[in-house]
């Protein structure tokens, strides 16, 4: 009987590790309003989380940006927490310094990141933008610049992530209008098993650096 229980547990663990993790990033900007949502689905529906950023307010270069983020459990249909944060020049510098410290305390982090990203699949990439400067020639010029920006960013993304779906890019000129709106929808997928493998590989690289694990714990817990 015990063998059947052990076998059932092994099958359940393998099934869970084989499940894909799907991430969906949606960014919508209409005039001065921003709406950003990040959804995570995995473990055959047992994991359903959302991070929603419904409020972004730029005050000035000194006071920075006020951001409100809500952490939502979609499975339970309830808000876990709401966090307000102020992003300033000082906080950006501190985050940059922390990132550099983590990189210094991991053996060839860029190699680990490159290999990890090759196992990420992009299953949907839609980006629609409407732009109007108020003058037809200037609107046409802005439309061309946005097309170039999108093509460059898509080319950079495809260097590291496998595109399983054909990207849909749109730039709609709004002649004789002053308007800007954009909507980005990106869906990514990676297996739970490889996330586990990637975590073990990252830990191994951190342990190769003397004091690396201690530094990572200090920086991450401080953040």
Count of Cβ atoms closer than 10 Å to residue 206 Cβ: 21
CB distance 184 to 149 below 8 Å: no
Q: Report the SS3 class of residue 1.
A: coil
* Token pair for 32: 């001065």
Domain residue ranges in the chain: 20-87
pLDDT of residue 1: 47
Smallest Cα–Cα separation from 54: which of 64, 42, 66?
66
Angstrom distance (rounded) from CA 140 to CA 147: 11
Q: Give residue-wise pLDDT tens across range 176-197.
A: 788 888 889 999 998 888 888 9
pTM for this structure?
0.77
Angstrom distance (rounded) from CA 160 to CA 194: 16
Q: Give residue-wise pLDDT tens across range 20-49.
A: 888 888 888 776 677 888 888 877 777 788
Cα 140 off chain centre by: 31
The pLDDT profile of the chain, 223 residues, written as one tens digit per residue, is 465 666 666 666 666 666 788 888 888 877 667 788 888 887 777 778 888 877 666 665 566 777 778 887 777 677 777 788 888 888 888 889 999 999 999 999 999 999 999 999 999 999 999 988 878 888 888 899 999 999 999 888 888 888 888 999 999 998 878 888 888 999 999 888 888 899 999 999 999 999 999 999 999 887 5
- Residue 32 DSSP one-character state: T
Smallest Cα–Cα separation from 188: which of 40, 31, 73, 4?
40
- The long-range contacts involving 157-160, CB below 8 angstroms and separated by at least 24 positions, are 157/122, 157/125, 160/114, 160/117, 160/118
Angstrom distance (rounded) from CA 99 to CA 214: 15
What phi and psi values does residue 221 have, to the nearest 5 degrees?
Answer: -70, -30
H or E element, residue 143 = helix 136-160
């Amino acid at each position: 009987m015990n063998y059947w229980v052990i076998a059932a547990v092994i099958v359940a663990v393998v099934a869970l590790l084989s499940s894909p993790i799907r991430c969906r990033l949606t960014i919508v900007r209409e005039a001065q309003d921003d709406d950003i949502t990040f959804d995570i689905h995995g473990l055959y529906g047992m994991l359903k989380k959302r991070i929603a950023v419904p409020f972004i307010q730029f005050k000035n270069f000194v006071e920075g940006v006020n951001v409100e983020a809500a952490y939502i459990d979609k499975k339970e249909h309830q808000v876990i927490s709401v966090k307000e944060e102020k992003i300033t020049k000082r906080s950006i510098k501190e985050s940059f310094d922390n990132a550099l410290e983590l990189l210094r305390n991991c053996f060839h982090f860029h190699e680990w990141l490159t290999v990890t990203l090759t196992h990420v699949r992009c299953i949907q990439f839609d980006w629609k933008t409407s732009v109007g400067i108020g003058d037809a020639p200037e609107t046409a010029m802005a439309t061309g610049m946005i097309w170039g920006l999108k093509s460059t960013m898509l080319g950079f993304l495809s260097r590291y992530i496998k595109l399983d779906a054909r990207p849909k890019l749109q730039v709609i000129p709004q002649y004789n209008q002053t308007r800007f709106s954009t909507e980005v929808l990106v869906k990514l997928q990676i297996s739970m098993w490889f996330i586990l493998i990637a975590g073990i590989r990252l830990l191994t690289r951190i342990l190769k650096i003397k004091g690396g694990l201690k530094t990572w714990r200090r920086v991450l817990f401080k953040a």
